[in-house]
Amino acid sequence: MYLCHLPVPPLPFAPRPFPDELLLSWICRLAAANHVSQPLLFPEMQAMNHYRLNSDPGEEIVARLAAMARVPPSTLHSLLLPNQFPNLPLLSFLRVPDTANISGNKDTASFPLPFCSECAGEEECLQQSLYWRAESGLLTTTLCPRHGAYFDDACPGCNRGQLTLAWDHARLIVRCLRCNWRPVPRQKGCPVPSYPSGLRQLISRLQCDLIAALRGHPPNSFWCGEISAVQFLRVVDDLYWLLRTPGLSAHCGQLFTFTDGFSWTRLRSDSWSFFARISDLPFSAWDRTSRAEMLLAMAAAMLGTRAFEILGNSPHFPAPTAFYPWDWILPSLNRPYAQELLNRAAHWPSRLRFSVSIAAGVAIMPIPLEDYSTI
Ligand SMILES: [Zn+2]
Ligand SMILES: [Zn+2]
C-alpha cells in the first residue's frame, strides 16, 4: 500500500457511519462529503475487489480510514461483513477470495454500489441521506432486498453509466451527469410492487433467507421445513458444491456443471452456457446474472416440483418425476461423487433427504416417524 506511509490527511467533513451500513457506502459518503472522488481520496482501494473491501480490507486500510475520519477503528470493524453476519464462514463461496484471484474493480468509471432507483427515490422524498445497508454487499444479494428490483449501474433516464454520487445539505444524493436525471419519489396511491413474481420472486426469497441465516436467524420453512440457520446454510453450501463443480456428471464432460442442466431457469438469452461464463473464477468474480442463476438452481433443488408452480414452467427433458431434480442428477453422477452427495445429504433435513434417498435407491439415514408428516 504505497500511500500508507504518508501522513494521514485530516478530512474536514466526516459523516458518522450508520450501524448497519456497508463499509463502501460509508467511504462513498466520506468522499462525497469532502467533494472529492473516491479514487482521488483512496487510490489504493481502486485495486481492491469490492467484496474484499467490505469483508476484510486489512488493518492498514481500516486504521487509515479511522484516522482520516476521526472514528475509533472498532466502529469500522463493526461494519465489516463478517462482523455484521456471524454465520458468514459457513458459506465457503462467500469467503474472501485468495489474493491471486482478486481482481481490481473493472468498472472504476461506473457507479461503485448496487443501485436501486426505488431506494434512491424514497430517500429523496424523506430528505434523508442515501446509504447502503450491509446486506447489499453480500455476493448473494443480486436484487434490492427492499424492493426486489434488479440492481443497475446505468442511469434510468438515459441508460448510460454516468450516475454519480454527490453531497447536498449533509446528505448523499444520486444524479446523472449526462441527462440530469434525479430519483423520483413514488406518488401516493402508486405503491412499489414489493413482491416480485416468477424468477425474481424465487431469487428474492432465497437471498432474503440467506441474509437472515447469515445473521443467525432461522430461514422460512418454505425451503426445507423448520430448520436452523446453520443447517440451512450447510445445505446451501453443499448445493453450491454440487451445482457449481464441473465434471461431476458421467455423461456431460468437464465443461458442464449441474447448474447448466437447469436450463429452464436461465436468465440470459444468449448461447453462452453457465460454465462458459464462470469458468474457474471464484464466486466473487462472477457477473450478477450468473450469481442469480446459481441461486435459482439452488432454489429449484430445494423446492423440487414446487418450483414449477412459482416459475410458471418446468423442464421438458427428461420428464420430471415427483423426485425432481434428484431423478436426473443422481443417475448421471460419477460414482465417487454420488457417494459424496449421499454423505452430505445424510445431514440434510428430512424432506430433502427423502427425495435424494428415493432417487438413489438407498436409504441414506432412517427418517424419524414424526418427520414423515412433513414430507
Ligand atoms: Zn430498493
Ligand atoms: Zn442519465
Asked if 35 and 160 sit in the same domain, the reply is: yes
- Reading the chain (375 residues) residue by residue, the pLDDT tens digits are 444 455 677 799 999 999 999 999 999 999 999 998 888 888 877 778 889 999 999 999 999 999 999 999 999 999 999 999 999 999 999 998 776 555 555 544 568 899 998 888 888 777 778 899 999 999 999 999 988 888 888 898 998 878 888 898 888 989 998 998 988 877 665 555 556 668 899 999 999 999 999 999 999 999 999 999 999 999 999 999 999 999 999 889 899 999 999 988 888 877 788 999 999 999 999 999 999 999 999 999 999 999 999 888 899 888 899 999 999 999 999 999 999 999 999 999 998 999 999 888 865 655 554 454 444
> Which residue segment(s) compose the domain that 55 sits in?
23-176
Does any domain span residue 34?
yes
Asked if 170 and 48 sit in the same domain, the reply is: yes
Does any domain span residue 139?
yes
| Ligand nearest to C-alpha 116 | 1
| Ligand nearest to C-alpha 193 | 1
Amino acid (one-letter) located at 25: S
- Domains contained in the chain, number: 2
- How many whole angstroms from 117 Cα to the centroid of ligand 1? 7
| Ligand nearest to C-alpha 144 | 1
- How many whole angstroms from 244 Cα to the centroid of ligand 1? 29
Question: Can the peptide bond before residue 86 be classed as cis, meaning omega within 30 degrees of 0?
Answer: no
| Ligand nearest to C-alpha 115 | 1
Asked if 226 and 160 sit in the same domain, the reply is: no
- How many whole angstroms from 100 Cα to the centroid of ligand 1? 34
Does any domain span residue 18?
no
- Give the SS3 label for residue 305: coil
Which of 176, 210, 234 delimits the end of a domain?
176
Does any domain span residue 84?
yes
* Measured distance CA(126)–CA(340) in Å, rounded: 53
- How many whole angstroms from 43 Cα to the centroid of ligand 2? 26
- How many whole angstroms from 184 Cα to the centroid of ligand 2? 13
| Ligand nearest to C-alpha 118 | 1
Asked if 129 and 34 sit in the same domain, the reply is: yes
pLDDT at 191: 54
Angle, helices 335-345/229-244, rounded to nearest 10 degrees: 170
Does any domain span residue 117?
yes
Asked if 104 and 237 sit in the same domain, the reply is: no
If 0-12 CB within 10 Å is exposed, 13-18 middle and 19+ buried, where does residue 14 land?
middle
C-alpha cell at position 98: 485468495
pLDDT at 41: 82
C-alpha cell at position 125: 422524498
| Ligand nearest to C-alpha 152 | 1
Does any domain span residue 240?
yes
Q: For residue 7, what are the contacts with CB-CB under 8 A and spacing of at least 6?
A: none
- How many whole angstroms from 29 Cα to the centroid of ligand 1? 18
